[in-house]
């Protein structure tokens, strides 16, 4: 019963907003025929009895001031302002759809009290449901008794004509009955008065008002605690009567005075019928006579305008707002994804997604959204939220004029939250992919111009980069770039270029620099060659003559970017400069950068109390290697070689040997060296981060979510769909010498 009561409360809140909207529209339609006012009351009734509705961007609740994100968090088709488990919440929270009021209302709710057997909100909901049910029973009993008493008094009625009965106990005409409605009239009506009365009451029957009235009373019974529902019920009855009055006036010629006199005469002798909830007693006589005397046939433009307004209002009030993505859930962090977003980028992406969903959500979607498919772009948000933009191509003939005759395609937006068990999918507008690429170029791209045929998933669009190869290191440096890894991640955020150490104990270097300020390369071959050590200069010498085009992006006095375009591809280089009195200005290091997304990623859930789940992060070498050696910082790593010669690397977050008192690593770095099948030495680094953890408590079965990325020349990491963990393989792009 408590769940039913909470559902009634949720529908009552939605219905209250709709009633207020109808009250406002009634003022705007005061010159229109009353039948349109009466029609508008259908949508509050729908909202008060139906807990679900359809989604649309054109909704009353999409207006500024409303925010139904939390109310639609479970499902967009249902408004749940008060959660069903509010009685079990440690800190109860409800929403009324207005952010300014949510915090005030929630702060006034009593918190849970662990020392008692029941939480205060449990008691409140239990008492509230009992009081609500008692009110429903009282109103229903009153209605039943009223009908029985009325039927008893009508036993002496005599039939005047088909469907019309007269009785001495009747002082005002009314209709009684649902399946076989009868019109009851008093004795002694004049011929004119009888004509007006029957025309009015038959108009009610033709419109099925004798059914609408008891149904509306049942709605009132369910929401008896809501004063706005009582107001709506009264005004609906008044609009019902006035619309029938106008219908009679429209059928007769200049009868306003006689009709008003008849109505006033019958109203003066009213007795008990106005108290009856189901029978038609005449109500609101003063307002009705005023409306009759001022009535005149409406102009066509007024009627047409009223029709349009009613249709728009009914649709807007009946629709739930199209579920909008909460911008806070798109706030991405450096440890969660390779895509780093600024505040401006988050706002732009949120608006882009919310404004380009072509269909309501479907409870379907892809299960494995981290499978590394090159037709997907994955955005990892907070609170376990994952958004995936997928470009799904279908072979066949397309009739869309933008790609007529070609293979058809759809752009899908997937959403998944493993913690909440939610999985959704939207079909996006056809221009979403183009605008999404524009967003990527504006907010996440370094600024070099990609080829026209670059696919949407190409790494060039991403602003988080890692070293792919060390092209040059000055011999004075004591740092050895293991596998070409500088130990840093690089990205743009707002108007700053960030050099972020992969070791979290060191602060990032933020370089203020304007994005997308690419220039012509300022060095001639002679000037460029002079920046290298004489013994090393020949490796990258004469760069202008070896490349088709070179763009230059200054960052500060010590760093600049180069977009080096070769006949087959283009590469992004990061150059670090140094200067001293003896050597002058010279190059310290050059790294070629690759999109962290393009390098691949793999995920793993650590669930130590599930025997069926692996307790180690597994990395399989798809290529044939030998002489593997490991160095681990954080957690423990080991490897094994299977009987068929396959090498598998394992990493565990348990850093201590003691199982009784384990120490869990939140991050790990695995550096490895190997020899490939051609006898060449290779190196690589796997960075592992815990993106979310529910803690370590056997009673709650903890889950820790780990994500791995890789750095190293000619290495790529992808998700192992079959066994979990990752697969280390050759990259999908050209693996020739990166220089």
pLDDT band, residue 368 (cuts 50/70/90) = very low
Average pLDDT over residues 111-121: 67
Average pLDDT over residues 334-355: 60
* DSSP E strand stretches across 607-666: 617-621, 625-633, 636-641, 647-652
> Which single residue is written with the structure tokens 């709605």?
219
Specify the pLDDT at position 491.
83
Specify the pLDDT at position 31.
82
Cα 464 to Cα 462: distance, rounded to the nearest angstrom:
6
Cα 148 to Cα 156: distance, rounded to the nearest angstrom:
14
Cα 701 to Cα 605: distance, rounded to the nearest angstrom:
12
Give the DSSP per-residue string, 188-242: T--HHHHHHHHHHHHHHHHTTHHHHHHHHHHHHHHTTT-HHHHHHHHHHHHHHHH
Pairing verdict, β 726-729 and 617-621: parallel
Q: What is the mean pLDDT of the chain?
A: 77
Residues 710, 685 contacting (CB under 8 angstroms):
yes
Interval 207-256: pLDDT, tens: 898 899 899 999 999 999 999 999 999 999 888 888 888 888 888 777 77
> Which single residue is written with the structure tokens 């772009």?
377
427 closest CA partner among 416, 435, 415: 415
377 has pLDDT over 80: no
CA atoms within 13 A on the CB side of 737: 4
> Which single residue is written with the structure tokens 């009888």?
194
Distances (CA, A) of 114 to 84, 120, 146, 160, 652: 19, 10, 49, 71, 37
Task: Please tell me the chain's helix, strand, coil percentages from 3-state DSSP, rounded to the nearest 5.
Answer: 35, 25, 40
Specify the pLDDT at position 137.
95
Angle at 688 between CA 686 and CA 692, to 5 degrees: 165
The four Cα atoms 231, 236, 239, 241 give a dihedral, to 10 degrees, of: -110
Q: Rounded to 5 degrees, what are φ and ψ at 535?
A: -75, -15
CA atoms within 13 A on the CB side of 6: 19
Interval 396-429: pLDDT, tens: 555 555 555 554 556 677 766 655 556 667 677 6
Q: How many residues does the chain have?
A: 739
Contacts of 644 (CB under 8 A, 6+ apart): none
> Which single residue is written with the structure tokens 């040059």?
472
The token pair that represents 425 in the structure block: 């999918």
Average pLDDT over residues 383-404: 57
Which carries the bigger pLDDT value, residue 278 or residue 113?
113
Interval 683-711: pLDDT, tens: 999 999 886 654 444 434 456 778 899 99
Q: How many CB atoms lie within 10 A of CB 700?
A: 10
> Which single residue is written with the structure tokens 């030495």?
681
Specify the pLDDT at position 11.
94
The four Cα atoms 640, 646, 652, 656 give a dihedral, to 10 degrees, of: 10
Cα 583 to Cα 586: distance, rounded to the nearest angstrom:
7
581 has pLDDT over 90: no
Q: How many CB atoms lie within 10 A of CB 220?
A: 21
Residues 543, 536 contacting (CB under 8 angstroms):
no
Cα 194 to Cα 20: distance, rounded to the nearest angstrom:
38
Average pLDDT over residues 436-440: 69
The highest-confidence range among 311-325, 365-379, 582-596, by mean pLDDT, is: 582-596
Q: Rounded to 5 degrees, what are φ and ψ at 221?
A: -60, -40
> Which residues are bridge partners to 664 per DSSP?
654
Which carries the bigger pLDDT value, residue 117 or residue 169?
169
Average pLDDT over residues 566-572: 77
Residues 272, 223 contacting (CB under 8 angstroms):
no
273 has pLDDT over 60: no
Handedness of CA 579, 580, 585, 589 (dihedral sign): negative
Give me the percent of the chain exceeding a pLDDT of 70: 73
Average pLDDT over residues 160-166: 88
600 closest CA partner among 437, 736, 701, 728: 728
State which H helix or E strand residue 290 sits in. Answer: helix 285-293
Report the range of poorest mean pLDDT among 177-186, 316-325, 335-344. Answer: 335-344
Residues 260, 69 contacting (CB under 8 angstroms):
no
Report the range of poorest mean pLDDT among 28-32, 236-240, 262-266. Answer: 262-266
| Helix spans in 74-190 (H) | 99-107, 120-153
467 closest CA partner among 491, 484, 442: 484
pLDDT band, residue 116 (cuts 50/70/90) = low
Handedness of CA 462, 465, 470, 474 (dihedral sign): positive
CA 319 to chain centroid = 16
Distances (CA, A) of 438 to 189, 450, 459, 599: 77, 12, 14, 23
Specify the pLDDT at position 435.
76
Specify the pLDDT at position 193.
83
Q: How many CB atoms lie within 10 A of CB 144?
A: 12
Handedness of CA 175, 177, 182, 188 (dihedral sign): negative
Q: Which burial class, exposed, middle or buried, applies to 450 when counting CB atoms under 10 A from its CB (0-12, 13-18, 19+)?
A: middle
Which carries the bigger pLDDT value, residue 569 or residue 202?
202
pLDDT band, residue 727 (cuts 50/70/90) = very high
Interval 641-677: pLDDT, tens: 998 889 999 999 886 554 445 567 888 999 999 998 8
359 has pLDDT over 60: no
Residues 282, 12 contacting (CB under 8 angstroms):
no
Average pLDDT over residues 52-58: 84
Interval 537-549: pLDDT, tens: 557 888 888 888 8
Q: How many CB atoms lie within 10 A of CB 619?
A: 26
Residues 710, 684 contacting (CB under 8 angstroms):
yes
Which carries the bigger pLDDT value, residue 680 or residue 335?
680
Which carries the bigger pLDDT value, residue 444 or residue 313?
313
Specify the pLDDT at position 488.
92
The token pair that represents 246 in the structure block: 């106008």
């Amino acid at each position: 019963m408590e769940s039913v009561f909470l559902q009634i409360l949720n529908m009552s809140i939605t219905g209250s907003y709709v009633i207020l909207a109808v009250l406002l529209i009634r003022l705007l339609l005061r010159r229109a025929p009353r039948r349109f006012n009466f029609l508008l009351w259908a949508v509050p009734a729908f909202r008060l009895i139906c807990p679900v509705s359809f989604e649309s961007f054109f909704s009353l609740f999409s207006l500024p001031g409303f925010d139904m994100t939390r109310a639609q968090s479970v499902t967009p088709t249902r408004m749940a302002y008060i959660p069903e488990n509010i009685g079990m919440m440690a800190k109860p929270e409800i929403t009324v759809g207005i952010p300014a009021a949510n915090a005030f209302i929630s702060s006034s709710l009593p918190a849970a009290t662990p020392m008692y057997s029941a939480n205060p909100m449990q008691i409140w909901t239990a008492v509230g449901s009992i009081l609500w049910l008692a009110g429903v029973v009282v109103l229903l009993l009153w209605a039943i008794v009223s009908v029985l008493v009325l039927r008893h008094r009508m036993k002496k009625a005599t039939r005047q004509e088909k469907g019309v009965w007269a009785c001495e106990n009747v002082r005002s005409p009314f209709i009684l009955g649902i399946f076989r409605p009868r019109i009851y009239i008093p004795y002694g009506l004049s011929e004119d008065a009888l004509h007006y009365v029957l025309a009015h009451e038959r108009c009610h029957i033709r419109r099925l008002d004798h059914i609408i009235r008891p149904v509306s009373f049942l709605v009132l019974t369910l929401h008896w605690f809501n004063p706005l529902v009582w107001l709506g019920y009264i005004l609906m009855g008044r609009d019902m009567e006035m619309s029938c009055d106008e219908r009679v006036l429209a059928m007769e010629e200049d009868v306003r005075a006689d009709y008003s006199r008849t109505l006033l005469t019958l109203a003066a002798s009213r007795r008990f019928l106005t108290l009856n909830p189901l029978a038609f007693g005449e109500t609101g006589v003063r307002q009705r006579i005023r409306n009759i005397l001022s009535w005149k046939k409406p102009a066509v433009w007024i009627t047409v305008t009223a029709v349009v307004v009613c249709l728009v209002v009914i649709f807007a009030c009946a629709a739930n707002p199209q579920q909008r993505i909460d911008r806070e859930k798109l706030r991405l962090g450096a440890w969660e994804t390779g895509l780093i977003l600024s505040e401006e980028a988050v706002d732009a992406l949120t608006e882009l997604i919310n404004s380009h969903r072509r269909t309501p959500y479907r409870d379907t979607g892809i299960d494995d959204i981290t499978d590394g498919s090159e037709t997907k772009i994955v955005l990892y948000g907070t609170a376990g939220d994952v958004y995936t933009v997928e470009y799904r191509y279908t072979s066949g003939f397309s009739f869309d004029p933008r790609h007529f005759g070609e293979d058809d395609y759809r752009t899908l937006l997937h959403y998944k939250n493993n913690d909440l068990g939610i999985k959704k999918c939207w079909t996006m507008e056809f221009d979403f992919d183009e605008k999404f690429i524009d967003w990527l170029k504006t907010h996440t791209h370094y600024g070099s111009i990609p080829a026209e045929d670059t696919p949407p998933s190409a790494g060039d669009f991403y602003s988080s980069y890692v070293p792919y190869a060390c092209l040059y290191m000055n011999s004075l440096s004591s740092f050895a770039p293991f596998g070409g890894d500088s130990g840093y991640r690089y990205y743009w955020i707002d108007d700053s270029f960030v050099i972020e150490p992969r070791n979290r104990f060191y602060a990032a270097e933020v370089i203020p620099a304007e994005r997308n300020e690419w220039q012509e390369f300022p060095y001639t071959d002679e000037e460029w060659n002079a920046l290298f050590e004489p013994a090393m200069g020949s490796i990258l010498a004469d760069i202008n003559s070896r490349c088709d085009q070179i763009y230059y992006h200054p960052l500060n006095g010590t760093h600049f970017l180069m977009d080096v375009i070769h006949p087959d591809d283009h590469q992004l280089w990061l150059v670090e400069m140094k200067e001293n009195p003896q050597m002058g200005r010279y190059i310290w290091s050059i790294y070629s950068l690759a999109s962290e997304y393009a390098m691949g990623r793999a995920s793993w859930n650590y669930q130590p109390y599930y025997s069926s789940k692996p307790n180690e992060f597994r990395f399989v070498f798809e290529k044939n290697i030998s002489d593997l050696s490991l160095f681990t910082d954080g957690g423990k790593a080991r490897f094994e070689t299977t009987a068929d010669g396959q090498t598998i690397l394992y990493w565990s977050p348990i850093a201590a040997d003691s199982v009784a008192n384990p120490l869990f690593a939140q991050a790990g770095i695995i550096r490895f060296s190997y020899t490939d099948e051609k006898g060449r030495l290779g190196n690589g680094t796997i960075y592992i981060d815990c993106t979310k953890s529910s803690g370590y408590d056997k009673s709650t079965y903890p889950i820790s979510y780990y994500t791995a990325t890789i750095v190293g020349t000619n290495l790529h990491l992808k998700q192992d769909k079959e066994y979990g963990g990752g697969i280390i393989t050759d990259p999908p792009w050209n693996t020739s010498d990166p220089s």
